[in-house]
């Protein structure tokens, strides 16, 4: 099989790289949600997975969002951070886990 020239493969690599950026992932998500709402979401013809109801797909998207995480930066009082680290050491878990659990508990109380 003949090798493809750099000119042939470079545009595809650039496009693939763009889709792996945060902007590319957001664009893909928007397109997916629009197609889902319009009912025009298509599956690959070679896919062994049967076509899924739009409501089921919407539920799957919500479940994926619930499990997805996003890295953020947050400024905390030093005393709060040290308390979280102390709790983490006592429980044998990471302090970030302690902070996430505290945030989740607080959000449940508010809503």
Domain ranges of the chain: 6-67, 78-110
> One digit per residue, pLDDT tens: the chain, 111 residues?
556 555 555 666 677 787 788 888 888 888 888 887 777 776 667 666 566 677 777 888 888 887 788 889 999 999 999 999 999 999 999 999 999 999 999 999 998
Give the dihedral sign, CA 51/46/60/20.
negative
List C-alpha distances in Å: 76 to 8, 48, 52, 104.
50, 49, 44, 16
Q: Which two tokens stand for residue 78?
A: 């030093």
Contact 36, 61 (CB under 8 A): yes
Q: Are 43 and 49 in contact (CB under 8 A)?
A: yes
């Amino acid at each position: 099989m003949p090798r493809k020239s750099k000119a042939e493969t470079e545009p595809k690599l650039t496009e693939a790289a763009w889709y792996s950026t945060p902007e590319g992932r957001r664009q893909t998500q928007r397109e997916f949600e629009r197609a889902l709402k319009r009912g025009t979401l298509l599956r690959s013809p070679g896919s062994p997975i049967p076509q899924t109801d739009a409501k089921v797909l919407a539920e799957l998207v919500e479940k994926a969002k619930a499990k997805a995480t996003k890295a953020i930066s947050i400024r905390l009082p030093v005393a709060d951070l040290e308390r979280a680290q102390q709790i983490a050491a006592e429980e044998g878990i990471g302090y970030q886990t302690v902070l996430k659990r505290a945030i989740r508990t607080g959000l449940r109380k508010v809503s």
